[in-house]
Structure 1
Amino acid sequence: MATRNQILKSIIDKNPHELEFHQAVEEVFESIQPVLRDHKNYVDARLFERICEPERIISFRVCWTDDQGKVQVNKGYRVQMSSALGPYKGGLRFHPSVNQSILKFLAFEQVFKNALTGLPLGAGKGGADFDPKGKSDGEVMRFCQAWMMEGYRHIGHFTDVPAGDIGVGEREIGYLFGTYKKIQNEFQGVLTGKGLDWGGSYLRPEATGYGLIHFAHFMLTEADDYLEGKVCLVSGAGNVSQFAIEKLLQEGAKVVAFSDSTGFIHDPEGMNEDKLAYLKALKNGQKKSISGFAEAYPSASFTSNGDKNLWSIPADCAFPCATQNELEEADAKTLRKNGLILLAEGANMPCTPKAINYLQESKVLYGPGKASNAGGVAVSGLEMSQNRMGRYWTKNDLEIQLRTIMKDIHDKCLETIARHDLHEQDYLNAANIGAFEKVAKSMNAQGTV
């Protein structure tokens, strides 16, 4: 039987230079050691190694024509990681940083996140190294059509159901869906995040941000505390960040900072509904830098990217919602020194391993992304159910279901903490162990396939 070090070394050696993927794999592998010790058959069946190896990786050329009539070439991907619990499910990311390592790490994380929702969802991730920023609607449409000309071969209502991610919102989903429908001559729920008028679901745009704050609420409640009156930092200014801010305002919290790729805003007076509406118009409609927010509101200041970031601002709660590895150990130490009591991840793997270790050791309540940001895929799963039944649920129905799913994830973490005698606030290991157990049991039952 291979030793612990041999197992990890084998996985890393098979996937050289994929640093983000290594980081995600090592974190889960460290967490599940008690399970592997108790279940020798899981080790003998090499279940962890099998989870780490995608069932399928599709890489393809995407050729499209820009507004000047010039042909452009990008690389498209779909990583179909695991179908143990259901059809592959996970977003598409259009961003220049997209590569196989990033998509494999995201798909790997998705395996555990989807398992925690309790819904019948496998895991996948995909996208392209295409940057929609600065592109016209026509260019984005032609790129999406070109991506789907190959992508349609590999997805389907009961096979693989992509959604949005960074760079892929309702506009992009619309172009992708229209192309799929044209090719297949079928109107089916092959993509989630669709518009309400054509198969979409209420609450899908809000789901990740709302779910994040629901999870933070349950974490604080378990510690006999609450969000009302807490000073909060939210990194990012996109979909997840906007709706995390919205839900924080509903909970009575005070949001004093947010950011985008150009820098960060600090507003000591805090956000309100009017300011949030302006931020949404700035980012969603005008697609401009948040620097314009400071021009509109004298109480706010804008700091461009440099040595200082928003994690230097004193706060009770922090919600990193931008991108992977955005919060480092030094940031965690600064936050803790300034009074941080809770950090919950809205992005996928936004904290470096050293930052996570420090947060855990310093007794900060830490919500790992695979638990705290699962609200998005949860409502995507509910959209799939609505499409299959040919009906819509109300926004209120979905809000109740989302909150219930996030509470169930939190309760699953608490149950796993108790069953494995973990530290009472160890949501990281609890989420990893609870999700792994579910996937491992399913894989074991289905045989070596």
Structure 2
Amino acid sequence: MAHVLRHAPDRIALALLDRLGRSDPAARTYLCRDEWLPASAVTLLLRHGTDSDRHYVARNPRVVGRPLPGLPGPVRYAKHRTPPELAALLRAELGRDPADGPLTTPEVTGLLRRHGARRPRTALEVLRLPHALDPALLAAEHARRPLPPGAVEALLLVADLPPHTVRALLAPSAAPREEPAWHRPAVRAVRMGRLTHEELVGCVTPARRALLLCDLPARPGLRWTLPELAGLRTAALRALAPLGDDPRLWAELLRRAPGFPGPLPDLVAAVVAGPRGPAAPVPAAPVPAGPVPPDGALPRAVRRLAPAAVEPVGEVERELALASLAVPMETVEEDIRWVRDCLDRGLLTGTDVVRHKLPACWALDEDHWLGEVDHPDRHDRPEAVLAARAEADRLFDLALGTDPDAWWEAARTLPDFAGTLPHLLLRVTDGGSVPKPS
């Protein structure tokens, strides 16, 4: 079930979780305790699940708020002691003692603007003070003048905010240029179970940020884990699906993206509609969109999402490598070594593994063809993993569409099916016409 949930849209995932809870409560409990439960499924369980679901998810240290090794998460931030000089500074800025009464929303936002420039640590100290936060007023203050990234991240870490306020914090009406820590609130929103990947792509503004989030540079600090990045690209590709493989539409997307103020789905709709379509929404305040970043980050992000054919090397060797995916080696370790070697030599891609490796459940689980790697992102060949996830997304969407019954049948059939993933999907859609290979 967890393998199928990786590739299911939010509406389908919610239907699968609900059906699993009604048909097999023990399996749903086991799923909540799975350390590699997809981030979007975690969000849906926290939001729509039972108290038992939330109990098991909260006890799973690898799911909610899971930081990369060496990076602070909610627990480490909570253990940090308030410096004495900071308390005196906050009293001076407020003009009163916080103990005299709870801070109002304008007072909280004023302090957050001054102390939340990049990292959330000082902003979290502000939120430890007694305060009465009005979500509607907070969203209005953020729309009037966006809070800095560290302040938004702190609110996502500890504040009890409704989903619409969380979306508002990630969609300011006057978005500034990309600061060094601009991406942290988006990463934290997904990791803390505030939003699913699909919701993040649908709400973050301006649209260029949704594209840039799919290709963050590999630098120290808070970044996507590999499973999170795969989930985000899945959501982004679904939003970009109307563009198809038309290079003119993708070029128009890249041309409009730097200055478009709305979310990515609106940008895609405007690109598909063309010059005769409805005009782009006009923001309430001037948007300093700024040019494409000088390092070419936006074109690079679009290129990674655009459809492109990869030409593997070799002819006879490639055919042998493809055939070997259907013939397991004597040991799992030997099978993993062979697949990794073929990937390194360019004979195979992650797409090939998903299409040809059997059984299908092994093809969907990278541990069975890349091995378990002691690495923060689990695997040391991220491009193969991302290509495999993208191809699995395409196959699932093409075969099952938005039919919850078909997705449920695929999830139920997957564990015992001995064929490849395309054969599994064909069997589900054709009612069992594809026999299991011997």
Whose strand proportion is higher, 1 or 2? 1
Fold in common (TM above 0.5): no
Radius of gyration: which is bigger?
2
TM-score (norm 1): 0.29
